[in-house]
Structure 1
Amino acid sequence: MTLLAVHLALAAAYAGFQWTVRALVYPQMTLVPPEAFPAYERSHQRRVSRVVGPLFAGQAVTTLWLLVDRPAGTPLLPVLASAACLAAVLELTALGAVPQHRRLDRGWDVAVHRRLVHVDTLRALTATGGVAAALWLLLA
């Protein structure tokens, strides 16, 4: 039960973080003067990594633990759903968000920012699915 609670806490913390980035941080990027944007973007990446890294690592540990040594009576389907959500978030991050951030390193670009916001919306929705799966695990 403790593993399931920790897993839920990590999934919820990441989803809350992701919705905050989506609703607050990314929209505010449009207010940064273009000449200051590359430095702002690099600073954003460094600071965000300090928060998201441990959240990704924690979720990876609890997800792998659940896949390898599922507690007795814990149904497999929500474990698989949780793992799928985490895998999708990591894929969206690696193949969608990170390349857009690298482009923004070079300077402000409205189209790149729009793509980043789109990818981030998908990440936030997928992370919310991960919370639902983790809650399902805890309540099953």
Structure 2
Amino acid sequence: MTLLAVHLALTAAYAGFQWTVRALVYPQFGQVPPEVFPAYERRHQQRVSRVVGPLFAGQGLSTLWLLADRPGGTPLLPVLAGAACLAVVLAATALGAVPLHRRLGEGWDGAAHRRLLRVDTVRAVAATAGTAAALWALLG
């Protein structure tokens, strides 16, 4: 039960973080003057890594633990669903968000920003679904 509660807390924390980034942080990128945007973007990447890194690590560890050794009575389906949601988040981050942040680090690009918003919506929705799966596993 403790592992399931910790996993739920980690997934919920990440989902809240991701929705904050999607709804508040990324939309404000367009308000940064283009001449200072590259420096702003680099600072953003450094600072956000300090928050998202531990959340990714914690979710990764708790997900692997649940896959390897589910607590008795915990249904498999929500654990698999949560793992799939985390895989979507990590893939969207690695294949979408990271390259787009690199591009934006070179200078403001409105098209790259719009793509980042779309990628980030995928991450936020997948993170929310992962939280729902974690709750399902806990209540299972």
- Answer whether TM exceeds 0.5 for this pair: yes
Match of 2:9? 9
How far apart are the structure 1 equivalents of 2:27 and 2:82? 28
3-state SS of 2:70 partner? coil
Q: Which residue of 2 aligns with 1:89?
A: 89
In structure 2, the residue corresponding to 1:5 is in which secondary structure? helix
Aligned to 2:125: 125
Report deviation, 1:89: 0.2
Could you state the TM-score of these two structures normalised by the residue count of structure 1?
A: 0.99
- In the TM superposition, what are the counterparts of 1:1-140 in structure 2 within 5 Å? 1-140=1-140
In 2, Cα distance between the equivalents of 1:14 and 1:101? 19
Secondary structure, in 3 states, of the residue corresponding to 1:57? Answer: helix
Displacement, 1:82? 0.5
Shift of 1:125: 0.4
Task: Tell me the percent identity.
Answer: 79
- SS of the aligned residue for 1:34 comes to coil
AA aligned to 1:82 is G
Gaps of at least 5 residues in structure 1 are none
Which stretches of structure 1, 4 residues or more, deviate above 4 A after TM superposition? Answer: none
Residues 88-133 of structure 1, C-alpha deviation per residue, up to 9 Å, x if partnerless?
Answer: 1000000000000000011000000000000000100000000000
Root-mean-square deviation (Å):
0.4
